Structure 1
Amino acid sequence: MTALLAVVSACSLGSSRSGPIGPDQLPASNTGARPYKKIGVAPFEVRTQHTDSYSRELMHSYVLGAIRTECQGIIFVQPSDEDYPPVLRSLPRLESGNLDNLQVAIAGRQLGLNAVLVGTLTSVGTEEKDWGIWWLKQNRHYVGVQIRIEVFDTETATKLVDEVAARQVRIDEADVEMIEQQDRIDSGFIEEILEVIAQKLDDDICEAIGDQHWKSYVLSADPEQLWIASGSRHGLRPGLVLEVFDSNTVMEGFGGHNYFKPGPKVAEVKLVEVQPQRSKAVVLTGGDIKPLSPVKFKQ
């Protein structure tokens, strides 16, 4: 049987629990002085044939479920949310077909996100391999799945994570015949593989996100006050003093990609009104605050 997939090795190892995502629940309390980081999750893409419509839901369930379990103290803005922002449903792409990292970062800034996570089911297929000593060789058949996870930093538009992971499971002759007849691979095989792959990805992803400082972004500003794209739902409270940075200068990169250049601190602000999704602050020192400028805790 002609191979439909050449599987590459998984990129990272980790240990975690995985499984279907339950109801969206925030952590019970914010015990420290740091607010919750907020990560936007774009709808996972399926860029391969031989799958059914359930494959996307399986990716969200197992892969995102494992990441959410492993990454503590983080709010995930995910497609199942009732107030899920439309801008995340169709992220802009370059002519090459790759995601426009700068526009992804801008979209994330508008929502006060620390990062944007994008998952893709890149390949699903079958492969036939010879097994055994040469005079006792026999053919064995496998189903393979490959996924890619990218995490974009909203402050710089760089990638915090770009992981590819893959795995195979053995199938029997009856399964091969069924796949050939239906011209698709049953979601049960995909589910079994995704459950294992999810446990290999979450550790590196959580470490990369955990290494980032909390940040949000300026929605609007005038010389005396400004609105920030985070609120009480993310752990902010009146009286907190934050720093604002000018990180809006764009640098050209390779392959049509552009990036934000980290800039200097331009102001200190104090929160005076905190709503669920946004906060109002007054300027204590400095000024010249531009919309979409990063806001961080005072160090």
Structure 2
Amino acid sequence: MIDHKDEPIIALTIAGLDPSGGAGIVADIKTFTAFGCFAVAAVTSLTFQNTTGVFGAVHQTAETVRDQILPVVEDLSVAGAKTGMLPTRAIIAEVARLFRETPLPAPVVDPVVRSTSGYDLIDDEALEALKRELLPLARIATPNIPEAERITGLRIKDEEGMRQAARIMREMGARAVLIKGGHLADEALDLLDDGEQVRLYSAPRIQTKATHGTGCTLSAAIAACLAHGLSLHEAVARAKDFVTEAIMKAPPIGRGFHPVNSAHSVRSVLDKTGEA
């Protein structure tokens, strides 16, 4: 059980802005709030998107990303952190340097390389920087199948391929790797390799269009749980349950891939009883 202490638990997201609210820092903030964390954020890219697709982006500079994060770190004690869309080599290098040189905790690295609609969000040069500089700092990396394939160069078709990909990413330096198997044909199978053992998380596949923001929400939920002091296995299990419920309770927003309901456990003030 998560203990909501009087002192606020602060969680940081470093990611892109999705103006339609389904993914990126908006989804992360909703998720942090749902887990009782105080959310802080740094924007790496302003994307132009809705539920039907991504139509472009304007990236921040490494300096503006640094200038967003440093004042937060100097003033607040950040207990949990995650990274999402880091679109350029310079931004990745700067973010990695901040994790090395400040008291920020080891991050949950969501290696966002492609949107749900198929838009490439990171080039090959940036991907190499992510593998070389950020993965070795990760408490856990959370790629889906296409992301794991692009990072490792493997073709992943089954559980064995997931095991191989997770092992390769740990060899790149990540302390733990969660391969999300939602792109496999059969049941939704996720695989966690923490360097000591491999755990499998299996769930029935949900037939739905509500998949926008699933990766952001999962990684943010893991970061929030770790900030509360949960073990890695418990954090992943709790986060997966949260995302499943977020999918099941997703409203039909938009004409494309509906956003998951990352705020499904936050009670609205409009739900209070006894009011006039």
Whether TM exceeds 0.5 here: the answer is no
* TM-score (normalizing by structure 2): 0.29
* TM-score (normalizing by structure 1): 0.27
Report which of the two structures shows the higher radius of gyration computed on alpha carbons: 1
Task: Indicate the structure with greater helix content.
Answer: 2
Task: Indicate the structure with greater strand content.
Answer: 1
